[in-house]
Every structure is written in C-alpha cells, then in structure tokens.
Structure 1
Amino acid sequence: MNITRLHVTKQLLNYVRLINNVQRLQRLIPSCGYYSTFTLDAFTSEIFERHKSRYQTNDFPETRIQHCTSANDTDRLPNLTSTELENVFSELLTKNKHKEIEELVVKCQNFRKLLTYATVKKLFRFYSMNGKPQMVVVLQNYCAIVDPKSYRTNGEFLHYLAKAECIKGNSEKGLSILKSCYMKYNSLRSFYRIIFRELIQDSVLNRSEASLVIFKKYVMEFSKEWSDHYPLVCFWHICWSSTWFSDQMLGNELLEMSDVLLDIVGDKATAFSIMALKDFNEDAVVRLLQTLLKYDMMKEYVAVLQVFFNYKLRNRDIRGCAEIIRNCEALGVTLPSDQQGRYIKMLIDGKSKWPKAPTKTQSKDFKLKF
C-alpha cells in the first residue's frame, strides 16, 4: 500500500514539475500570431499550490537580464514585474554597466513601465552622488513621461541634477539650478535648504577654493533676496570650525559682510561653543571668544567663557583654568561663584589630571533651527 502511494505521489510531483516548466516557458517565449490557453482544474491547482514552493526560486535568471537589456529583445520587457526590474537595475549597478542602465531606462520609458519609487530614487541618488548629470537627465525624462505626478511633486527632481553638477565640479551651474528650484517650488524650500547645506559641506571638505567663492556668492544672495539665512549660517559655521586658516579667514569675511549673520552668531554663540567642545575643538571656541570680543559682545562673551571654563574644570585642566582666570581679571569679568569654588577645590586637592590631546574628529552634519 505504501509503495503504491509513493508511486502515485511521485507521479503527481512529476506532473506539477511539468506544469511549472510549461508556465515558465510561456512567460519567456515571445507572443506568437496565435493565442493558447492553459487551464488547470481545481484538483490540479490544489496540488500545484501545495508543491510549487519546491520548484520556485527567487534567483533572477541571467538570461532574462541579457534579454531585457538587449536592443533586439524589447518584446520581453513588458512581461517583467516591478520587482524583477528592480533586481535587474541592482545587478547592472553592481557591475557598473551604466550604458545598459541608460538603455533600459529608455526602454521602460517607451513601454510606459512604472518602476517603483525606491528603484528610481536609488538610481537618482547613485548618479547624483557620482557626478553624472547626463544620467540624471535621462531619469528625469523617464519620470516626466511615465510618472508625471511624482515628477511634479518632487520638483522635477532638479535637486539631483544640481547635486550632480556640483559633484562634477560645475558649482556655478549646480547652484544656479538649485536657486531656480528654490524660486519655483516654494513648498520644497526647507528641503532645498538641506541640499544646500550638504553641498556646502562637500565643497569645504573637498578643499575647492574656486567653489568656495561661488558658494559665498550664493549664500549671500539667499540671505539678501529671500531673507533665508540658514545657508549663510551653515557656510560660516563650517568655515569657523575648520582647521584651515583660509577657511577661518573666509568665515571672518562673512561676519564683516552680514550684520544679520553677526547677530545670529551672537545669539547662538553658547550653542556653537558647546557643539565645538563636543568635538574637542577648543581652538574654534577661542576664535569665537576673540570674535565676540572684537565686536564688543560682552554678554555673549561671558556666556561662552563660562562654558569653556566649565569644560576645563571637567577635564581638571589647571593650566587652562588659570589662563581663563587671568583673562577674566584683565577684562574685569567675573565668573560664577560655583565655578570659582570648584576651581579652588581643585587647586587644594592638587590632583591635576593633564588631559591627553584628544583626537579631533570630522564635524558631524551641522543642524541649526531658528
């Protein structure tokens, strides 16, 4: 009995395997001049559903990738699902086959194949970060035809084009595109401010002197024309916290050019100093103190000095505390009594823990809300 049952089950499994292979061939073979139907009765369908997991695989056949990227096999593209297309693009990106990606995007555009938003965003991000504006334009054209609603909602994806141009080295063209986006799409301005901040960071960290001059021009335009001072503050902040003398001088120039920036720096001086000390950037705090003293902002100067003195106390830096005390005496500034008490106690204890020179890390993304 068991032998007979085993024989019957084996026959059913072979039948299911045959059905699965026929259905797979139907998907792969291009449409012919006649139509064929393949129906399953209820009993066969139940068997197939029960055992199909044994024969299905998530691997995407290499032959299908070749078919859908070949210029002579465009008839296979309409049969691919969005998930399959996503796998194709991921595979092509891994292999750096950018020409094939461009051809496939154009084919999807011609066949009105709607890609998932995740796939489109992945391609936009990759080519913008790698400075390939021509590929960004190809993707823009696809979205404009196949998904016009998303195209308009995302501001024609022009921010990707602006980033691609800046990464490529065309800062003037890239920032000009970003400026036009800012003017055209009011609802996306907060988003464009973030893009501007990222571009500023890339420019300063990549040590592009020519780009710095261009960025200086545009941050001043944003501040004067639209009273949007966030890009200006971000630009000043990264120049101020930089270890390069040329960047620091550029930050000083910005303060001389903009009274609004000077007021914001004075108002946020304590926050700036705390952020700098978290990165162990004591030199930046000293420069900020000098700036506040230069512009006679004594109230802000005392507030930052107290933060700096507290930092020295926490690190038990007797020498640093002594220098701040002498500076206060010269300027006639008085520190809070609790800080003075902690300093005296540290002197009495005589336990000087000379801090090791901390390793300075790159500043994290600068975020400021005002």
Structure 2
Amino acid sequence: MAMLTRRTSPGSPKAFQRFQNCIAFLWPSLNSGTTQTNSVQRKSTQMDAIDCLTNELVSRNSKKWDELRDSFTMKSNTPDLNASSYSENNELESISFGQNVNILSKGVVTDLQAIRSPQLGLDIRSLSQAQLDNLLLSTVEIKNKPDFLYLIRQCVRHQQLPSNEVLVSCLKYLMQLCRLQQIESLADLCKLRAHPLIKVYANFAPFKAMALWRSGSADVALMTLHRGYSDCIETDEGRRMARNVFRTIVEETLAQKSEAVLVSLMQVARSIYIEQKDIFVIACVWKQCFASEWFCDQKSATDLYEHYTELQQLVAKRSSSLSSSFIRANNIDAVHRLIEAFLQKDQRDACANCLSILFNHQYLRGDLRACAEIIKSCSELDMPLSEVQNEQFLSLFLNQPAALGSRNNESYQSKPVKEYQYKF
C-alpha cells in the first residue's frame, strides 16, 4: 500500500479507478444497488406526480360540490321572498283583471284604486252607497276573495251595510267560503240596525248552516237550520233559501254515502213535519233515496212513501217532472219503480203520465220493442195512450220491417255470388 501511494498521487484518475475496482471486487452488489436506488427514485417521483394529480382532481370535485350545495341552500332559503312577490303579483293581477276582461267598469276600477290609496287607508266611510255596492258585487262576480273579505271587515268595523240584494249576494259568497265568523258579524250588525233581512232569514240561519256544512260540522249545521226553519218559512224568500240549503245537504249526503248523516237528516225531516206540517224536507230525502242505486236507500224511500200520505199526494202531483228528471239522468229503472209505486197505491193518473213520458223517450230512441211493451201494459191497465202516440207507434211499426228488409238486401248484395260449374 505504501508503494501504491508512492507511485500514484491521491488525486490522480488512475488511483480513483483502482479504488473503484477494489470496491467492486469486495462488494459486487453495490453497483447494482445504486442502479436500483435510481430506479426507485424515478418510480417515487412518478408516484408523487400521480398523487398530486389525484389530489388536485379530488379538490376540484369537492369545490364543485361545495358550490352546488351553497347554491341549493340559497335557493331553499328564498321561497318566502318568492311567495311574497308572488302574492303581490297576484294582488296586482287581481286589480287589473277587471280591466283586461271588461268585467269592471271604469268607475269600479277607480273605486278600487281609491280604496287602496294611502290617503284613504282603512276607512271606507267616504264611499257612497252605490260605490260600496259596486265594489262588493264586482269582487263577488270575479271571485276576488282578498278584496271581498277586506271590504266585509271594513263594513263591520265602520257599521256600514250595502243594499239588501248586495247583502244577500255577500252572504251567499261567505257561506261558500265557509266564513262563519263574518256571517255572524254581519248578523250582529243587522240586529243592531234592526235590518229587515235579519227576520226574513231567521238571523241568517240558512247561511250559517251552509257554512257549517261546508266546513264539516254536519250535526251543528242541521241543528242550526232546524232551529231557524220555522221562522224562514214565514216569507217566500226565507222559505226558498232554507229549502235550497236543505236540498243541497240532502244531495251531498247521498252522494257521499254517509249513513250517519242520513239518519240525522231523516230525524230532522220528521221533526220539521211534526212541528210545521211541511212535507218538503221529507220529499227531498225521498227523491234522493229513491233515485239511488243502493238497495238500502231505496228501502228507506219505500218506508217513507208508505208512511206519509202527504208524500204520496205530492209525488203523484209531480209525477211528470219526476219521470222527466229520472229520464234525463238516464235512470230508467227509477221510472219503472215509480210506476210500480203508483200502481200499488192505485194512482192511475200519475201512472198514465209516467207511461206517456216513458213512451216518448223510447220512441225518440227508435226502440220498437220497448214501445210495444208500453202499449201492451197500457192496454192491460186500461190506460190508453193519446192518438198521437198511437200513430207514432204505428209509423214506427210499419217503417221497421222496411228498414230491416233494406238492410237484408244490402247484406245479401254485398256477399259474393258463388259460381258453380256443372259437368254433364
């Protein structure tokens, strides 16, 4: 080693080469290790680049998700503003609606603008009677609920009532809206003013009853109408209104198939007949039950018809109108059952009316068989039809075979004729 150091200097290239050779001879795997470390370093740098790219993509997606979430929460937090703006737009459209369709006159439009002006505020006492009537009628006709309720509140607050006809229209609209409180407020105001309509409509009992019925309080509605019915029937207007409400309640009860309400309704009808000797409510219940498709309803109608003689007389007087209404409703079975009911009570005139109307219906339909059965029944029951109807049946009978013959000829000619070849 001393000789080696003497012959070569430490910094010469040959000495460095010899040193590397010795190292390679002593540790042969060292050279390969350096190459492996270099490859590992390259792989590590490649993996670092891939990780950076992946992290960048993930961060971008998370940023997009945060932006979408923020935008969604902003939209969900703004429905109140949209609703308020939508209500304001609806109010503006309700104001200009009369101008677009020419329902409101120019005077009514100016009155609406005046009533909403800040100078007037909530005081309608500066309006005349004609202006108030026009405003109320206009809001009722176009079904402008907010303005209508606003005017009603102001009428009650300032104790200013419209004319009688307008007041009745307002009460009808209030009962459609189920506004019982407003009806009671108007009733109290009319009592205070000793208004004549408060006696005609028995403290507005029909309107209250209908509002209660629409809101779902069936028993309270029937009780209210029952209490005020005796006072309502004293005048024509009150009787008409109370009977219309009763008719509506009966029709909707049978349409909804409410057995409990039907039992209560029959009890009220019987009580009214006992107290007032008024068969109208029982007749309404009988008609709807009689026209029903359910056997239980038809049985209830039969029991009422058997029990009340006045009901039998009333139905016999209105046999023509009842038959026509059943036919318009395409309920021929009800007409047949009505004829049977008249025959059981020996009400021949009413039965003849029903048969005549039924014949006209079947003749217009061109049903020869049904007309022949009616003619046969009339002859057996000794209830002859009119001469015009007999001529109609004869013309229908004579024209029917000709029509059938023409159809047979057409069908015969339309069929292809077979050709036969005979071999002789």
Band the TM-score falls in, shorter-chain normalisation: 0.5 to 0.7
Q: Which has the higher helix share?
A: 2
1:12-46 deviations in Å (ceiling 9; x for gaps): xxxxxxxxxxxxxxxxxxxxxxxxxxxxxxxxxxx
TM-score (norm 2): 0.57
1:314-334 deviations in Å (ceiling 9; x for gaps): 4331021233345557x5656
How many Å separate the matches in 2 of 1:261 and 1:178?
A: 22
How many Å separate the matches in 1 of 2:386 and 2:112?
A: 75
Q: Which residue of 2 aligns with 1:283?
A: 333
What 5-or-longer segments of structure 2 have no aligned partner?
A: 1-106, 405-424
1:232 maps onto 2:279 in alignment:
no
Q: Is the contact between residue 200 and residue 215 of structure 1 (CA under 8 Å) also seen in structure 2? A: no
Q: Is the contact between residue 86 and residue 115 of structure 1 (CA under 8 Å) also seen in structure 2? A: yes
Q: Which residue of 1 aligns with 2:225?
A: 178
Report the 3-state secondary structure (helix = DSSP H, G, I; strand = E; otherwise coil) of the residue aligned with 1:78.
Answer: coil
Q: Which residue of 2 aligns with 1:223?
A: 273
Structure 1 position 137, deviation (Å): 0.5
Q: Is the contact between residue 219 and residue 232 of structure 1 (CA under 8 Å) also seen in structure 2? A: yes
Structure 1 position 288, deviation (Å): 0.6
1:272 maps onto 2:326 in alignment:
no
Which aligned pairs between 1:183-332 and structure 2 lie closer than 5 A?
Answer: 183-184=230-231, 187-188=234-235, 191-205=238-252, 207-208=255-256, 209=258, 210-243=260-293, 245-278=295-328, 280-297=330-347, 300-325=350-375, 327=377
Report which stretch shifted further, 311-320 or 58-67: 58-67
Residue identity over aligned pairs, in percent, reads: 20
Report which stretch shifted further, 131-140 or 114-123: 114-123
Which aligned pairs between 1:347-362 and structure 2 lie closer than 5 A?
Answer: 347-350=397-400
Report the 3-state secondary structure (helix = DSSP H, G, I; strand = E; otherwise coil) of the residue aligned with 1:60.
Answer: helix
Which aligned pairs between 1:1-370 and structure 2 lie closer than 5 A?
Answer: 59-60=110-111, 62=113, 64-65=115-116, 67=118, 76-86=123-133, 94-96=144-146, 100-101=150-151, 103-109=153-159, 113-146=160-193, 148-184=195-231, 187-188=234-235, 191-205=238-252, 207-208=255-256, 209=258, 210-243=260-293, 245-278=295-328, 280-297=330-347, 300-325=350-375, 327=377, 333=382, 335-336=384-385, 338=387, 339-340=389-390, 342-350=392-400
Report the 3-state secondary structure (helix = DSSP H, G, I; strand = E; otherwise coil) of the residue aligned with 2:146.
Answer: coil
Q: Which residue of 1 aligns with 2:17?
A: none
Cα distance change, pair 235–59 in 1 and its aligned pair in 2 (3 A): same
Q: Is the contact between residue 197 and residue 234 of structure 1 (CA under 8 Å) also seen in structure 2? A: no
**Larger relative contact order, structure 1 or 2 (CA cutoff 8 Å, min sep 6):** 1
Report the 3-state secondary structure (helix = DSSP H, G, I; strand = E; otherwise coil) of the residue aligned with 1:187.
Answer: coil
- Larger Rg, first or second structure (1 or 2): 2
What 5-or-longer segments of structure 1 have no aligned partner?
A: 1-55, 355-370
Q: Is the contact between residue 305 and residue 312 of structure 2 (CA under 8 Å) also seen in structure 1? A: yes
Structure 1 position 136, deviation (Å): 0.8
Q: Is the contact between residue 209 and residue 222 of structure 2 (CA under 8 Å) also seen in structure 1? A: yes
Q: Structure 1 counterpart of 2:398, which letter?
A: I
How many Å separate the matches in 2 of 1:168 and 1:196?
A: 20
Cα distance change, pair 125–306 in 1 and its aligned pair in 2 (3 A): closer
How many Å separate the matches in 2 of 1:153 and 1:300?
A: 36
Structure 1 position 124, deviation (Å): 1.1
How many Å separate the matches in 1 of 2:115 and 2:237?
A: 43
Report the 3-state secondary structure (helix = DSSP H, G, I; strand = E; otherwise coil) of the residue aligned with 1:105.
Answer: helix
Cα distance change, pair 103–270 in 1 and its aligned pair in 2 (3 A): closer
1:134-173 deviations in Å (ceiling 9; x for gaps): 2210111222224534434553333221222233233332
TM-score (norm 1): 0.64
Instruction: Give the length in aligned residue pairs.
Output: 291
Q: Is the contact between residue 269 and residue 282 of structure 2 (CA under 8 Å) also seen in structure 1? A: yes
Report the 3-state secondary structure (helix = DSSP H, G, I; strand = E; otherwise coil) of the residue aligned with 2:234.
Answer: helix
Q: Is the contact between residue 108 and residue 134 of structure 2 (CA under 8 Å) also seen in structure 1? A: no
How many Å separate the matches in 2 of 1:234 and 1:312?
A: 28
Report the 3-state secondary structure (helix = DSSP H, G, I; strand = E; otherwise coil) of the residue aligned with 2:366.
Answer: coil
1:328-358 deviations in Å (ceiling 9; x for gaps): 57x565634834554344222226999xxxx
Q: Structure 2 counterpart of 1:291, which letter?
A: A
Q: Structure 1 counterpart of 2:396, which letter?
A: M
How many Å separate the matches in 2 of 1:353 and 1:211?
A: 54
